[in-house]
Structure 1
């Protein structure tokens, strides 16, 4: 069955709001690990759930951020903080539900960010960048507030890479006149890659070690041995 644009926008908004709630709860869980009070829960939940969209809308300068014009966004962000404050979220199914909503929101946010940038008559590169910012911005701001290195910078399973994939797909399919299909593909592929990365522990390399030539290594070792022998006084001293 083919969905019209209005129906799909409603579905995308529902997934978007579900992602706001899920990421707000994740922000509250981060607040619990940092032993913050209820105010800290609310602030981290709002930043985590709404930060990426607010950054995007501020940079695009196309009016007030949607998180401020649509009350449902802020209400769900605060609700996520309250839920995280009272619920431990230690069960297996609750954790899986949050992971699934987070993965779906990743693709949806990347698609929405890319499409809004294209609607603002900006180029494809800006659209890809804004798609990634929308998807990962909230989590990065949350980590900075907790004095942590943002998780998207490495050492974790693919997240920004999944957002990048979704953004590129959205830009390509939207330029072909298929924005609805692009949103579906972006949401599915971004969520799928994120879930697979969590399942199998896929990460990007953190550094590349370039081996030193053996000749230089051997020469350096001989020089160190010579210096060590001279310093210890083991070499024979000349006769008096």
Structure 2
């Protein structure tokens, strides 16, 4: 394991510098598409090549930013810009080379950022975040500068996910004390996933209509409507016949009134209508009370009716005698 350490460090050093140069070229190709001048080439290449590492170091806040402390980074970034300035890279061959080389750099940069955060004893989540920022931060800064949405948010290819996988793998290896093994193996996960996503067309689908909370609320509203309808049906079955007849009559009257109403009502008509409504309400209340009396004391109601009938008969006999002069 001790013999592996110098080899791993040398590999990371080489790929780190090579990645800066490659990203400088990629930044220059984007500047060409935007019709930037030489200043635009230089600045866009610098941000693309060093933006991720600079964001990482500023967020960690420990010491000088690595890109400013080592002149090799600035030289290689500007060198990539000059190469892109004098050479128009295009075609399918360049696209394939750019993507595969970028995938390799992405895996190693994600591990580099994670290892640096681990060296400062940052929390695990922060270490993973620093790894992802190191890998994709330069491209994000570049896209923001040219006024477009960062491609990692809209790209049809996995880019941030491979960096995340590589950083998580590095954290797991470090937790078991296998730091060097993690540095050797973790980048492979990101490289493999990035290349597979490119050739197989894997991507994270965007679903703007996905809203489980709203869908649940809609279902609750439907259930409430169903329960309300069921309650209405039960209420209609239990409704006394006289009340049901009165309610239907009121509906028919209201329908007839709406059909026959041609002009707005004046104040007097409104008063008459309000009085009619009050009278109808009182009549309905009397009907309800009468029905309850029928349910609670049917025998008494029948008996009372008979007494009234007898009294009515006596009155009729008396009135008959008066008419005959008796």
Give the TM-score taking structure 1 as reference length. 0.84
Structure 1 residue 184: deviation in Å?
Answer: 2.1
Structure 1 residue 96: deviation in Å?
Answer: 2.4
Structure 1 residue 94: deviation in Å?
Answer: 3.2
Distance 2:38 2:156 in 1: 28
Structure 1 residue 186: deviation in Å?
Answer: 1.8
- Which residue of structure 2 lines up, in the alignment, with residue 148 of structure 1? 148
**Contact 1:154–1:204, Cα closer than 8 Å, also in 2:** no
Higher mean displacement: 129-138 or 192-201? 192-201
Distance 1:68 1:10 in 2: 21
- Which residue of structure 2 lines up, in the alignment, with residue 187 of structure 1? 187
Instruction: Map 1:201-240 to 2 at 5 A.
Output: 201-207=201-207, 209=209
Distance 2:149 2:91 in 1: 27
Structure 1 residue 207: deviation in Å?
Answer: 1.2
Distance 1:157 1:204 in 2: 8
**Contact 1:139–1:150, Cα closer than 8 Å, also in 2:** yes
Structure 1 residue 156: deviation in Å?
Answer: 2.7
Instruction: Map 1:1-240 to 2 at 5 A.
Output: 3-207=3-207, 209=209
Q: Summarize the Cα distance change of 1:170–1:87 in structure 2 as closer, same or farther, 3 Å threshold.
A: same
Higher mean displacement: 149-158 or 105-114? 149-158
**Number of equivalenced pairs:** 220
Distance 2:3 2:44 in 1: 36
Structure 1 residue 118: deviation in Å?
Answer: 0.7
The answer for unaligned runs of 5 or more in structure 2 is 223-258, 263-326
Distance 2:25 2:199 in 1: 21
Distance 1:96 1:18 in 2: 17
**Contact 2:8–2:184, Cα closer than 8 Å, also in 1:** no
**Contact 1:155–1:206, Cα closer than 8 Å, also in 2:** no
- Which residue of structure 2 lines up, in the alignment, with residue 233 of structure 1? none
Higher mean displacement: 50-59 or 182-191? 182-191
Q: Summarize the Cα distance change of 1:192–1:22 in structure 2 as closer, same or farther, 3 Å threshold.
A: same
Give the TM-score taking structure 2 as reference length. 0.63
Distance 1:89 1:191 in 2: 23
Distance 1:47 1:203 in 2: 26
- Which residue of structure 1 lines up, in the alignment, with residue 295 of structure 2? none
